[in-house]
Amino acid sequence: MRKRNVVGVKRMGQVPRSALLALSASVLVLASAMAAKAGDGIETVVVTAPHYVPKSSNIGTKLGVPLIEVPQSISVINRDQISLLDEQNLGEAVRYTSGIVGEDFGTDERYDWLTLRGFQPIEYIDGLQAPIGSVSNVGVDLYGFQSVQVLKGPASTLYGSAPPGGIINLTSRRPQAKFGGELQVQYGSHDDKQVAGTVTGTLYGDDLIEGSFTALWRRRGTQITGETSNRVYLAPALTFNISPTTMLTLLSYYQYDDIRGGDGGFLPAYGVLLPNPLGKIPVSTNLGDTKYNDFRRSQYGIGYDLHHQFNHWLTFEQNLKFFYNHNRMLDVYGAGLLTGANGLPVDYRTVERYNFPFQEAITSFNVDSRLNADFNLGMIQNKALLGLDYRDYRDNSDYGFSLAPPIDLFHPVYGMAITTPPLMPYTREVQRQTGLYAEDQARYHSWILTLSGRQDWLTTKNYGQPSNDQAFTYRAGVNYLFDSGLAPYVSYATSFEPVAGADFAGHPFKPSTGDQVEAGVKFEPTFLPRNVQALATLAVYDINENNVLTTDPAHAFFSVQTGAAEVKGVELEGVTRINNQITINASYTYTDAQVTRSNGNDLGKRLPMVPLHKFSALGDYTLQRGLLAGFGGGVGIRYLSSSYGDPANQFRNPSVVLWDAILHYDFHPWRLQLNASNLFDKTYISRCTSISQCFYGTGRTLDLTLTRKF
């Protein structure tokens, strides 16, 4: 659930188009020189991004089966795509993925604001729920991860409490026996400086102990005046190949963020969405205070993945992690234009402000254990699992609230005297969840039947007041696999999610529930040449959410659980890699998300931040031979139709078309890459939630990266 206090937008600044041309020319000149040198010797065939097209994922079944055998829509964003597009956070990673929208509040240096099939997805790390608190993700840097997996639709059968729209999982980089790695330096918009690297290999014996270490340091400004962002990320890992049947991988990460000086967004609608007689509000406007505003966060996770094979048909797997996440925020932000008795702005430039300090400390212990079995029952091949997971989660948070000095919208002055109000307890939550689940994938010739069920027991205490919930969720799906690689499927799945609070009579709220019917086709062509990889998916679905909170018509300031929402959609997505030199991504999303039952003014309205249409396409080409072997580039286009920023649909976010571009040159063992996001520096509105809370989208950003592979 999003809390008002943590919303913020951090943006990259504008770079003149001449700088883009100069950097592009530099890449071309260097590419020509290096290619000419390469031409003096034996002709080189350059191969990049060999694993761009995903094949399998563990997120949909925990059985590690091919994607076309899972009766539910899944998108996997591999490391090859993350590196090609220089994706540094989840909002950027899902730009070319169907069914999900990112950067709901523009670019935020702290968190990733996502909407998946109409709902905010919960973030997982290595299959275990991340230490989320007032926000449903933790803002971890993508450089430390091998892939991003998006499971669309209800996921409670395997993961417990979750919204009906789905979840998102990040898979950490793992140690490898073969020595390898990279070191890279990056410079970009707003004095963006970054150094990062990863290394892996055998540490002891004949692949007995393998290790890896990933690290990143970054310091940059943003498109918000006076804001700076600092980050350190460290992730050591060890794999012990204890025996041919037993493997233990120790995984850990640590990230520290220090973001000072800004609170991008919370701009008045007058001058952003509505006319202001004094002119448009600049994208760089900072209504916080460069001397006062400060966000600091320390987070880490440490644990292991264990795999033991008892025999040819029975395997035990266990994932365990302890998470810690602590953040402290001093935040002055805009509260809207000063208005007169008639409700209109007095002078269209004086902005009132609030002061909202906030701090939160979260710990979470997660363990997921399961037995996997492969066996035959007559002519039916079975892959089955029996699992038990447990999570102990604790969240302590405090907040303060007061007025802050007003500020001039067009000529802000910073450094005014600001007194931090005293903090008061906000949350004292302890939550324990236990889930027992089972799944079976039964194959008969070309038919695959997937059945799964789960029972959850959830105990929550807040300020010592206990509440107990339990829920049974299930999923059933059928696939048919044609020899051509075509795999139609149909499935039904359910979900549940706890709801905090109680009604007027003091009865604790029941969990909200969701159910989904989905039908689709997955296509992984088997008749293509070996040097052509492709995966295409088409999904049509209908989600219903019930037990949603809405206004109690009989008792002011209370809620009842008579609300409901429905989300219907179509998602089409394809990715292909041809001759190891041509890459194509394309996706289209149609989402009709409406409130179907409510006592409030949102009845019959569209859910916020759900555009009716989303289209994206990306093409990239690399020369493999000749004078410019290793040189390549790509262009991407992103379209979002209009959406609403508030539940009552009073504030409409206009549609937008954005372009991205890539230039890259590979000359073993070096790679030089230039990424341009929002190439033509389009000024657009990411979201307006009210008359006083508007957020601009990210302007043009340029990043030049030099990588040395080894």
Q: Out of 2.40.170.20, 1.10.1200.10, 3.30.56.10, 2.40.10.10, select the CATH number for domain 4-709.
A: 2.40.170.20
Cβ contact 616:95 at 8 Å: yes
Residues in the chain: 710
3-state secondary structure at position 82 = helix
Specify the pLDDT at position 256. Answer: 98
Provide CB contacts within 8 A for 122, sequence distance 6+: 129, 130, 132, 136, 137, 162, 163, 167, 168
* Residue among 149, 154, 153, 155 nearest 168 (CA): 149
Beta strands in 156-227, from DSSP E residues, in sequence order:
166-172, 180-188, 192-204, 209-221
Distance of CA 284 to the CA centre of its chain: 25
Q: How many angstroms separate the CA atoms of 396 and 131, rounded? A: 12
Q: How many angstroms separate the CA atoms of 575 and 81, rounded? A: 11
Cβ contact 487:446 at 8 Å: no
> What pLDDT digit, counting tens, does each position of 70-87 carry?
999 999 999 999 999 999
Q: How many angstroms separate the CA atoms of 621 and 623, rounded? A: 7
- Residue 290 phi/psi, 5-degree rounding, is -65, -20
| C-alpha pair distances (Å), 662 with each of 98, 370, 589, 618, 678 | 21, 43, 24, 10, 11
Provide the 8-state DSSP code for 374: E
- Residue 35 phi/psi, 5-degree rounding, is -65, -40
- DSSP symbols for 572-639: EEEEEEETTTEEEEEEEEEEEEEEEE-SSTTTTPBPTT--SEEEEEEEEEE--SSTTTTEEEEEEEEE
Q: Both tokens of residue 416? A: 């005014």
Specify the pLDDT at position 45. Answer: 63
Q: How many angstroms separate the CA atoms of 321 and 422, rounded? A: 34
* Residue among 699, 568, 564, 587 nearest 638 (CA): 587
Q: How many angstroms separate the CA atoms of 4 and 7, rounded? A: 6
The domain ranges of the chain are 4-709
183: number of Cβ within 10 Å:
15
Cβ contact 451:401 at 8 Å: no
Cβ contact 131:125 at 8 Å: no
Q: How many angstroms separate the CA atoms of 669 and 686, rounded? A: 40
Cβ contact 333:316 at 8 Å: no
Cβ contact 407:353 at 8 Å: yes
Angle at 214 between CA 210 and CA 219, to 5 degrees: 175
Specify the pLDDT at position 46. Answer: 65
* Residue among 168, 187, 176 nearest 214 (CA): 176
Torsion of CA 641, 620, 166, 454, to 10 degrees: 160
**29: burial class by Cβ within 10 Å (0-12, 13-18, 19+)?**
exposed
- Residue 529 phi/psi, 5-degree rounding, is -60, 160
Provide CB contacts within 8 A for 282, sequence distance 6+: none
659: number of Cβ within 10 Å:
16
* Residue among 616, 609, 606, 587 nearest 685 (CA): 609
Q: How many angstroms separate the CA atoms of 488 and 329, rounded? A: 49
Which stretches of the chain score pLDDT less than 50? 1-42
Cβ contact 676:20 at 8 Å: yes
Q: How many angstroms separate the CA atoms of 95 and 154, rounded? A: 22
Report the sign of the C-alpha dihedral through residues 409, 13, 654, 149, in that order.
Answer: negative
484: number of Cβ within 10 Å:
11
Facing residues of 375 across strands? 382
Q: Both tokens of residue 662? A: 């890539």
Q: How many angstroms separate the CA atoms of 501 and 508, rounded? A: 6
Specify the pLDDT at position 506. Answer: 85
Provide the 8-state DSSP code for 550: E
Global pTM reads 0.92
Q: Which amino acid is at 63?
A: L
Provide the 8-state DSSP code for 467: E
